[in-house]
Structure 1
Amino acid sequence: MPATNQSPVSIAEAAAALDAMRAARPLVQNITNYVAMTISANVLLAVGASPAMVHSEAEVDEFVAISNALVINIGTLSPDWLPGMRKAAARAVALGKPWVLDPVGCGATKFRTDFAVEMSRAHPAIIRGNASEIMSLAGAAGAGGKGVDSTASSDAALAAGKALARATGAVVAITGETDYVTDGGRVAAITGGSALMPLSTALGCALSATVAAFAAVRPPFDAAVAALAVYGAAGAVAASRVNGPGHLPAELCDALHNADAAMIAANASITLIEES
C-alpha cells in the first residue's frame, strides 16, 4: 500500500482533539459489560470526559438525549439488555449523536454474533474491535476467535475491516500490535501501547469508551485515530512504570490524565497508509 507524507491525521491533530475533548468534557453514556464498568468510567474521567453507566430500557431515551456520545459493548450480553441497546442506538441516530459499537466476542456464539451483526446495521459511527471480532463481524469464515481474545493479527483483519466499513457506513477501528482505522477508503495505522495491555481485562472496552469521547468532538475517522493514538501512548507510558499487568489500569489512568502533545509524540505514531 502506498505511503503518503501528507496525512490529514497527525500526532499534532490527535493532541488538538484531546484538548478539544477535555474542554468540552463530553458526557459519554456507556451500555457496557459488568467487567468493564469501573475501568471504563475511570479511564473516561482520567482522559477528561464524563462517564455514565446507564443501560435500563426505561431511561435510555432520556439519557441519550442529554449525552454527547454513546458506546454499546456486548461483553456480558444477556437477552434483557438487548431492547435497551437497540433503543439507545436508534435514539442516538435520530438525534445525530455518535455511537460506538464494541462487538466483544463476536464469532464465539450464534446469539452474540447475530446481535453484533444486527447492531452493526444500526448506523454506528464507529465499530471498534480486535482482529477476530472484526473478521467475524465482516463475515470472514473461521475467524471467530477464542472467546473474547483475538486469534488473528490486525494486519490480517484489514481487508475485512475495509469491507465492513463499506457495508455499514461506519468507521472501523481494528486494534492489535498495530492499530488500523478505516472508512473503507482511507486507512491509518497507529502504533503505541504495550504487550501487557491484553493481559489486563477490559482495557479494550475502556478504549471503546475513549473513542466515543473523542467522537463527541471530532468526525468519526479523526476521532478514532486520535483516540487510539492517545490511548496507545498512555499505554506505553503506563507499561514502562510497572513490573506486570496488575497495576497497569491505575498507571494507564495516570498517563491519560497527564497526556499532552509531547507525551503522545514520544510514545505513538500515526501514518496514513492508504487514501481514498
Structure 2
Amino acid sequence: MNPTMAAIPPHPAGTTLAAIRARRPLVHCLTNPVAANLTANALACLGASPLMAEAAAEMEAVSRFTDALLVNLGMQHPARMEAAEIATSYAQQFGRPWVLDPVAAGAIAVRMTLAKTMVTRGPRLIKGNASEIRAMADAVASGRGTDSTDDAADVVESARRLAYETGATVAITAAIDWITDGERTLAVHRGHPWMAKVSGMGCVAGAVAAACLAVEPDALIATEHALTLLGVAGELAAKQSTGPASFAAALLDALHGLDPAMDALRA
C-alpha cells in the first residue's frame, strides 16, 4: 500500500525543541514501571520536566499544575488504572493535552476495553504500533503482546478513520512512523533499528510527544516533531554505541545534546 501524503507547511522541529527548553513543560507520566526511569530521564535530557505521580488521591492537585499527560496502559494494576481514570478526566476538564498509548490493545481484550473508555476523554494523540492502532480502529484482535503483527503502511487508512472518529491525532510507530489527523497524513523517516531493542522506547516516544504537545498547538506537527527529535537522537546515539545497552545511555546524551539549529531538525 502507498498511503496518500498531504502537503505539510515547513515547520522545523528545532522550533519546538527551543520552546520546550524555554518553557520546560511539566509532563505527568502514568506509564509502565519498566520504562519509568528511562522515560523520566529522556524528558529531563530533552529539556522538559518529568512527574511520575501515581497515587489516585494526588491526581486532582497534580492535574492543576502539569502541562501535559501521558497514559501508557502497559503493566497495568488497579491502583495505576484508577489514577489514570482520574487523571484523564481532569486533563479533559482542565484542557491539558494528553497522550494515550494503548499498549497491547490488539492482543489483550481487557486492554482494549480500557483503551476504548479512555479515548472518550479527549486524548490529543493516540500512539501505538500497527496492531494496536488497527485494534482501536477496527476492533480486530491482532499483535502478540506488545509486538505488532501488522505492517504500519497497511494500517494508515484505519488510523485515519480512528482520527476522524475520535478527534485525536493518531501515530503508528514503526521503522517508518505514520501520523494522521484524519485529513493530513505524513511519514517520519528517522531513527535507528536499535531503538526497537531498548525496552520502554515506546513510552519515551509518548512522553516526548506529550512535551511537544505542551508547546505546539497543532497535534499533527507536535507529533511529527516529537518523533523527529527522538529519531535524530537515536541516529546520533548509534554512532557512539557498540550495541543496544550502550545505545540506551547514549540516547540520553544525544537528547541532551540536540541543538535547535541542527540541520536534521530543519527539514
What letter matches 1:206 in structure 2? V
Q: Are residues 1:23 and 2:22 paired?
A: yes
Q: Percent identity?
A: 39
Aligned with 1:192 (options 190, 193, 209): 190
Matches for 1:150-161 after TM superposition, within 5 Å = 150-161=148-159
After superposing on structure 2, the runs of 4+ consecutive aligned residues of structure 1 that deviate more than 6 Å are none
Aligned to 2:167: 169
Q: CA deviation at 1:109?
A: 1.3
**SS of aligned partner of 2:145:** coil
Please give the alpha-carbon distance, in whole angstroms, between the structure 2 residues aligned to 1:48 and 1:132: 31
Specify the code of the residue in structure 2 equivalent to 1:159.
E
Q: Tell me the secondary structure at the aligned position of residue 58 of structure 1.
A: helix
Residues 1:3 and 1:79: Cα distance change in structure 2 (over 3 Å): closer
After superposition, the C-alpha distances for 1:197-219 in whole angstroms (9 at most, x for unaligned) are 11110011111001000110002
Distance 2:49 2:185 in 1: 29
Query: After superposition, what is the alpha-carbon deviation per residue over 1:138-172, rounded to whole angstroms, capped at 9, x for unaligned?
Result: 12524x21110122222122111111111111011
Work out the CA distance in 1 between the residues paired with 2:110 and 2:65: 31
- Structure 1: which 5+ runs fail to align? 271-276
2:114 match: 115
**Pairing of 1:196-211 with structure 2 (within 5 A):** 196-211=194-209
Task: Sort the Cα spacing of 1:9 and 1:56 in 2 relative to 1 into closer, same or farther, 3 A.
Answer: farther
Contact 1:32-1:71 at 8 Å conserved across structures = yes
Aligned to 1:223: 222
| Count of residue pairs brought into register by the alignment | 264
- The 3-state SS of whatever aligns with 1:127 is strand
**TM-score normalized by structure 1?**
0.91
Distance 1:156 1:3, change over 3 A: closer
* Helix, strand or coil at the partner of 1:216: helix
The 3-state SS of whatever aligns with 1:112 is helix
Deviations 1:84-133 (A, max 9, x none): 11110110111111011111111221111110111122210111111111
* 1:190/1:269 contact within 8 Å kept: no
Residues 126 and 2 of structure 1, relative CA distance in 2, 3 Å threshold: closer
Whole-angstrom CA distance in 2 between matches of 1:189 and 1:66: 33
Equivalent residue, structure 2, for 1:131: 130
Give the corresponding residue for 2:46: 47
Instruction: Provide the alpha-carbon RMSD of the alignment.
Output: 1.7
Gaps of 5+ in 2: none
| Cα offsets for 1:210-245 (capped at 9, x unmatched) | 100011000211211111111111111112221211
The aligned counterpart of 2:93 is 94
SS for the counterpart of 1:138 is helix
